Amino acid sequence: MTGPNKSRNNNNLARRFAPKPKPLTPQEAVPVLIFGPNNNWIDFSKMMCIAAGHSYGRLSDIIDQGSYYVPRMPTPDMSIIDSTLRDKDFESDLKERSKSFNRLEENKPMLYMFILSKISVESEDELKRHTNYPTFSVEKDPLELRKALEELHRTTTVSKNAEFVLQQCENDYLSCT
């Protein structure tokens, strides 16, 4: 009868006490958006939505839904009988709504820069050729940036020639049947 294998036991101890990898933050987990027919637009947009929601709150609706979040308009609470108390309550609700709008406006340039930091050099070059780039780059508008990125990355080809794209679509369709 032979004794236990010491090398196997030492290897198991090393694995057991090895340092565990540090989990990624939502911002670190966003992949770099690559350009081309095999791009990662869907994964990028999912992870960007999570990271934006984590850092910028309701401003992440830009990435998820393609529109800005609009806080609801408060209504006066008619259950309060005293009109002065009702007006004060309504005023405080309006102030909260305006604070929410201000927070969204303050965070727009930060979200714009965060999205830009997660795109590849090739994607950035294509983005600079976009027709609306001079407008939304000056305004730092994350919604227009997202729309431009989606327009550029929702394609299955790199070519901008309409005839070539149409021919490729027909070939792809015929190969499916």
On whether the CB atoms of residues 62 and 68 are closer than 8 A, the answer is: yes
Is residue 114 assigned to a domain?
yes
d(C-alpha 34, C-alpha 55), whole Å: 23
Which DSSP state fits 33?
B
Is residue 13 assigned to a domain?
no
Count of domains forming the chain: 1
Q: What is the pLDDT of residues 59-97, one digit of tens each?
A: 888 888 888 888 888 887 777 777 788 788 888 889 998
Is residue 26 assigned to a domain?
no
On whether the CB atoms of residues 34 and 120 are closer than 8 A, the answer is: yes
Residue 122 sits in which domain range?
A: 31-176
Is residue 71 assigned to a domain?
yes
Q: What is the pLDDT of residues 102-147, one digit of tens each?
A: 988 999 999 999 999 999 999 999 999 999 999 999 999 999 999 9
- The reported pTM is 0.72
